[in-house]
Amino acid sequence: MATGETGFDDVSFDLISLQYHSLKAGHDYGQYVRDARNAGRDDIAEFFEQVMAQDSERAATCHRFLGELTTSSESGPAMS
C-alpha cells in the first residue's frame, strides 16, 4: 500500500479517522441521551443509546483491523 505524507497508508489512515470519529461521536451521544432523558423522552434516549452502541462497535472493528495491519507489511513505516 502506498503511504502518504503522514507515513500511514491510506487504509490505515482511513481506519484511524473512522475510529476517532466513532469514539468522538459516542462521547457526544452521551449528552444527547441526557438531554432526551431530561426532556422525558426515553424513546429518543434509547435511540441515541442504540446509535452510540453502533459507533462503539464500529470503533472496535477499526481497532481490530488496525491490529491486523500493524502485524502486516502493508501498513507502511508509521504502523511498524
Flag whether 68 is in a domain. Answer: yes
Collapsing DSSP to helix, strand or coil, 8 comes out as coil
pLDDT in tens, 23-54: 999 889 999 999 999 999 999 999 999 999 99
This prediction's pTM: 0.75
Flag whether 79 is in a domain. Answer: no
Flag whether 3 is in a domain. Answer: no
Collapsing DSSP to helix, strand or coil, 41 comes out as coil
State yes or no: pLDDT of 72 exceeds 60: yes
Structural domain for 27, as ranges: 10-72
Flag whether 50 is in a domain. Answer: yes
Task: Return the exposure string of 36-56: e unless at least 16 CB atoms fall within 10 Å of the residue's CB, then b.
Answer: beeeeeeeebeebbeebeebe
Split into its structural domains, the chain has a count of 1
> Residue 40 has what DSSP assignment?
T
